[in-house]
């Protein structure tokens, strides 16, 4: 039996079972966080047909877990967009103008994700005012500026998206080194917003870059919420800013935003699909995803920050309450400081009282039906990159759970921890 074949049945079964066990089952109040796992719109369920497991995402916005689920308004926008052909250039232009107006920046482009935006933004800095140069990336760049200045502690797993343009990184650590790093080949100053270390602040990064006439880019891909970040960094003076479309914005997974200066956004389009002879031709965003990204911007701007955060905290509290009398288990709430700034439930385990390691518990939940993915910080030895120390802890990411799933996670954890 596929339990998700009749989700409604499963939920009411869960509710009744828990009610019978004397557990109070609060009905989630989700007016603002409308994450209904809606009935299929029609047609076949291809996950079932392919034998692909639908999971409960108690992890977070991880790409490997397909990150977020689009809210109903975004799903509807995607599905409606699929019904009509349009002129791609017109759609790209209007979508960019609309997003720029809503996010109070000069210009915007819908990319195929934040990673694509890093490539297109770098290409833009290298080719601005020189459209034919777009054909030269990534290998024939000896005649172009191609040095990207970055703090050593801001080197990260997305470097390659920038290097795709044929640049070389120039690393700095101190403000003095930063000042001295500019040459006539400096093309961009890159900043990783969620970097935990680095002596140079975002404001300093912008000020020094601008004194040298070099554009600067802020990768804030995972940094919504808070919603106000969507305009904070462009207002701070960053020439380019990216957000992933499929993380906290809950847009299509293969969409993202590149926001910033008009001339740079225009130059970014030269390297973007559908321009064939360019570094970004493979970074195509289809009409459905462009429209979905616009709808996601509308959706996020209609949310109330306090309400969203309160809802996440209630989910964490409900799960914790369900587990409260298990010996050796201490719940706490952890809110990462920059990226993924939402309450996570951290369940500290006393190894003497809990007979399994957190990693073993993750495995059991992964293999159970329904399959549950806990946050991968679970059981991780060291803190870092905004994560708590969790060697003896289970971490539940509650923000991508759909209505009712917090109670399923609570019930399964209780079962696994009680044997």
Minimum CB separation from ligand PLP for residue 114, in Å?
3
Minimum CB separation from ligand PLP for residue 189, in Å?
16
Looking at the Cβ atoms of 18 and 244, the one nearer to ligand PLP is: 244
Looking at the Cβ atoms of 194 and 390, the one nearer to ligand PLP is: 194
Both tokens of residue 197?
């270390």
User: Cα angle at 324 between 322 and 329, to 5 degrees?
Assistant: 120
Looking at the Cβ atoms of 246 and 404, the one nearer to ligand PLP is: 246
Instruction: Give the separation between CA 95 and CA 109, rounded to whole angstroms.
Output: 8
Looking at the Cβ atoms of 114 and 241, the one nearer to ligand PLP is: 114
Minimum CB separation from ligand PLP for residue 148, in Å?
15
Minimum CB separation from ligand PLP for residue 258, in Å?
11
Minimum CB separation from ligand PLP for residue 28, in Å?
27
Q: How many CB atoms lie within 10 A of CB 354?
A: 21
For residue 418, give the 3-state DSSP assignment: helix
Instruction: Give the separation between CA 208 and CA 215, rounded to whole angstroms.
Output: 10
Looking at the Cβ atoms of 246 and 343, the one nearer to ligand PLP is: 246
Minimum CB separation from ligand PLP for residue 197, in Å?
15
Residues that bind ligand PLP (CB under 6 A): 63, 113-115, 158, 194, 219, 221-222, 244, 246, 256
Instruction: Give the separation between CA 320 and CA 307, rounded to whole angstroms.
Output: 20
Looking at the Cβ atoms of 58 and 194, the one nearer to ligand PLP is: 194
Minimum CB separation from ligand PLP for residue 281, in Å?
17
Looking at the Cβ atoms of 295 and 365, the one nearer to ligand PLP is: 295
Minimum CB separation from ligand PLP for residue 333, in Å?
22
Looking at the Cβ atoms of 121 and 331, the one nearer to ligand PLP is: 121
Looking at the Cβ atoms of 96 and 251, the one nearer to ligand PLP is: 251
For residue 124, give the 3-state DSSP assignment: helix
Minimum CB separation from ligand PLP for residue 190, in Å?
11
Instruction: Give the separation between CA 378 and CA 394, rounded to whole angstroms.
Output: 5
Cis amide leading into 226 (omega within 30):
yes
CA 312 to chain centre: 16
In 3D space, the residue among 266, 3, 385, 145 whose CA is nearest the CA of residue 136 turns out to be 145
Classify the C-alpha dihedral 209-214-218-219 as positive or negative.
negative
Q: Which residues contact 385 (CB under 8 A, 6 or more apart)?
A: 194, 196
In 3D space, the residue among 115, 201, 127 whose CA is nearest the CA of residue 167 turns out to be 127
Q: Which residue number is nearest to ligand PLP in terms of Cβ?
A: 113
As to burial, measured by CB atoms within 10 angstroms (0-12 exposed, 13-18 middle, 19+ buried), residue 55 is middle
Q: Which residues contact 266 (CB under 8 A, 6 or more apart)?
A: 107, 124
Both tokens of residue 81?
């967009």
């Amino acid at each position: 039996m596929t339990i998700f074949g009749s989700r409604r049945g499963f939920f009411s079964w869960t509710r009744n079972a828990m009610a019978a066990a004397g557990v109070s089952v609060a009905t989630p109040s989700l007016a603002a966080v409308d994450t209904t796992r809606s009935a299929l719109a029609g047609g076949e369920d291809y996950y079932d047909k392919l034998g692909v497991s639908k999971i409960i995402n108690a992890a977070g916005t991880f790409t490997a877990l397909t990150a977020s689920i689009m809210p109903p308004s975004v799903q509807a926008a995607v599905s409606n967009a699929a019904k009509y052909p349009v002129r791609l250039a017109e759609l790209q232009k209007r979508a960019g103008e609309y997003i720029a107006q809503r996010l109070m920046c000069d210009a915007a482009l819908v990319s195929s994700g934040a990673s694509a935006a890093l490539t297109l933004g770098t290409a833009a800095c290298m080719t601005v005012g020189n459209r034919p140069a777009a054909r030269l990336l990534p290998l024939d760049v000896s005649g172009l500026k191609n040095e990207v200045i970055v703090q050593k502690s801001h080197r990260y797993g997305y470097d390659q998206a920038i290097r795709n343009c044929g640049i070389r990184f120039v690393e700095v650590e101190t403000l003095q080194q930063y000042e001295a790093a500019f040459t006539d080949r400096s093309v961009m100053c890159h900043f990783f917003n969620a970097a935990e270390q680095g002596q140079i602040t975002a404001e300093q990064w912008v000020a020094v870059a601008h004194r040298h006439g070099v554009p600067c880019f802020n990768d804030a891909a995972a940094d919504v919420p808070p919603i106000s970040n969507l305009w904070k960094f462009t207002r701070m003076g960053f020439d380019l800013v990216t957000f992933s479309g499929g993380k906290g914005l809950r847009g299509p997974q293969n969409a993202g935003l590149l926001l910033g200066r008009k001339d740079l956004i225009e130059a970014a389009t030269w390297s973007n699909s559908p321009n064939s002879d360019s570094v970004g031709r493979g970074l195509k965003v289809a009409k459905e995803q462009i429209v979905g990204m616009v709808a996601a911007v509308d959706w996020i701007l209609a949310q109330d920050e306090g309400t969203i955060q309160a809802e996440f905290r209630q989910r964490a509290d409900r799960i914790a309450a369900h587990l409260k009398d298990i010996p050796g288990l201490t719940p706490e709430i952890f809110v990462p400081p920059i990226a993924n700034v939402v309450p996570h439930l951290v369940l500290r385990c006393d190894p003497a009282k809990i007979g399994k390691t957190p990693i073993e518990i993750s495995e059991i939940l992964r293999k159970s039906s329904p399959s549950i993915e806990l946050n991968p910080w679970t059981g991780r030895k060291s803190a870092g990159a905004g994560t708590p120390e969790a060697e003896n802890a289970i971490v539940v990411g509650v923000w991508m759970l759909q209505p009712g799933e917090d109670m399923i996670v609570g019930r399964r954890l209780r079962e696994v921890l009680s044997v």
